Amino acid sequence: GKIVIAIDGYSGCGKSSTAKAVAKALGFTYIDSGAMYRAATLHFLNHFLSPSNPNDVEKGLKSLEISFQINPDTQKQETYLNGLNVEDQIRTMKVSERVSEVATVKQIRKELVAKQQRLGKRKGVVMDGRDIGSVVFPDAELKVFMTADLETRAARRQQELLDKGEMVDLEEIKTNLAERDRIDSSRVESPLIKTPDAVEIDTSNLTFDGQVAQIVQLAKA
Ligand code: C5P
């Protein structure tokens, strides 16, 4: 049957790399909902559109086309915005600094949630984000809520950025993660919350393989 695994949690907990590995282990499709909010943010930045201006939001959504494609060389999933590969651009600090503001906008969430629900119609899906277990797939068979202390999250994120050639001060990353958590948790529209039926996993002291194995085991139980 159709199985949906929802992975939510704070910024930089390793949700996406974990979700990707869980999907691979189970033969499921992985969908990165955060990449969609990031692509929307890049689109608004590129066209100087303000997420707090309703006319701009309408204009931005009308001209926004997001898709995912597998890179044939690396077999990795990459994000496309209006036909262009934006996988690297959406991970930059420039986008990270604006994405939570864009993600507060009701109309933007409505469109992206609808797209996420359409993508989830395939059987066997692992999706990560902030509102997957609460709003996108409230009936998900398995809900995981990932946490990790800020220090651990910031150090991991700094390494990820460095691997992509972006050198960012640790304090700047900490500020960005904490600020996104604050905005994501306090927004009116679909705030980040741990639903009562979600299994909480604190990854601060877990190895990557350990946390993947734990979720795979829960999925098979
Ligand atoms: O998962 P990632 O860190 O790439 O998400 C970037 C931002 O997108 C989050 O900080 C949040 O503001 C927004 N987001 C959201 N709902 C989701 C996924 C991401 O609001 N389901």
Distance CA 65, CA 6 (A): 24
34 Cα: distance to centroid of ligand 1 (angstroms): 4
CATH of 4-220, one of 3.30.2130.10, 3.40.50.300, 3.40.190.10, 3.40.50.1980: 3.40.50.300
Show the DSSP H helices in 127-169 as ranges. 150-163
How many Å apart are CA 131 and CA 112, to the nearest integer? 12
Residue 82: the pLDDT is 98
- Identify the pLDDT of residue 122: 80
Count the neighbouring beta carbons within 10 Å of the beta carbon of residue 110: 13
Residue owning tokens 């991970």? 91
Strands (E), the chain: 4-9, 29-32, 66-70, 77-81, 84-85, 125-129, 142-147, 199-202
Q: Is 179 exposed, middle or buried, given 0-12, 13-18 or 19+ CB atoms closer than 10 A?
A: middle
**pTM of structure:** 0.97
The pLDDT of residue 1 is 52
Compute the distance from residue 33 Cα to the ligand 1 centre, in Å.
Answer: 7
Q: Can you give the residue ranges of every domain in the chain? A: 4-220
Name the closest-CA residue to atom 19, ligand 1: 34
Helix, strand, or coil here: 42? helix
Angstrom distance (rounded) from CA 140 to CA 133: 7
Tell me the mean pLDDT per 10 residues along the chain, length 221.
89 94 96 98 98 98 97 93 97 97 98 96 93 98 97 95 95 98 97 97 93 95 87
Are residues 18 and 212 in contact, defined by beta-carbon separation less than 8 angstroms? yes
pLDDT at 2: 63
ipTM here: 0.99
Ligand 1-lining residues (CB < 6 angstroms): 11, 33-34, 37-38, 99-100, 103, 129-132, 180, 184
Give the mutation target among 31, 184, 186, 195 for probing the ligand 1 site: most ligand atoms within 8 A of CB: 184
The pLDDT assigned to 116 comes to 97
